[in-house]
């Protein structure tokens, strides 16, 4: 199998996700903005899909109230784009050292 055989489109990739799963969104400059947009565009597939990230540099589109039933958001870094959601309880702040993240989020 070569590299081209591993390529897929967003519909097929997101079809493999289940609402009981956790999706790790890499933070900062590694944020996969196309993935976030694709998840939001297909949000109706999910009921409580957990998104986990730290510092994001975009506007947190998945925190829009229209996605309240579709996504659950856990963050290790509260930024202006997520501050209101954390304060209102629609996102959760998980204080931890990055060293502990694999142990905490793998449960």
Tell me the pLDDT tens digit for each residue of 35-74. 999 999 999 999 999 999 988 988 999 999 999 999 999 9
Q: What is the pLDDT of residue 98?
A: 75
Q: What is the pLDDT of residue 68?
A: 96
Q: What is the pLDDT of residue 104?
A: 74
Using an 8 Å Cβ cutoff, are 31 and 25 in contact? yes
Using an 8 Å Cβ cutoff, are 21 and 48 in contact? no
Buried b (16+ CB within 10 A) or exposed e, 66-85: ebeebbbbbbbebbeebeeb
Phi-psi region of 15 (alpha: psi -120 to 50; beta: other; left: phi over 0): alpha
The rounded mean pLDDT for the chain is 92
What pTM, to 2 d.p., does this model score? 0.88
- Is the model's pLDDT at 26 over the cut of 70? yes
Using an 8 Å Cβ cutoff, are 24 and 46 in contact? no
Give the containing element (helix H, strand E) for 50. Answer: strand 49-53
Largest CA distance in the chain: 48
Q: What is the pLDDT of residue 101?
A: 76
Tell me what the mean pLDDT of segment 19-41 comes to. 94
Q: What is the pLDDT of residue 107?
A: 63
């Amino acid at each position: 199998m070569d590299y081209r055989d591993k390529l897929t489109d967003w519909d097929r990739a997101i079809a493999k996700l289940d609402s009981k799963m956790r999706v790790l969104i890499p933070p900062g400059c590694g944020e996969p903005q196309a993935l976030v947009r694709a998840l939001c565009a297909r949000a109706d597939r999910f009921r409580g899909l957990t998104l986990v990230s730290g510092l994001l540099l975009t506007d947190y589109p998945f925190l829009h109230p229209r996605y309240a039933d579709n996504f659950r958001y856990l963050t290790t870094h509260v930024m202006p784009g997520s501050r209101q959601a954390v304060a209102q309880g629609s996102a959760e702040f998980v204080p931890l050292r990055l060293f502990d993240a694999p142990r905490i989020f793998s449960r």
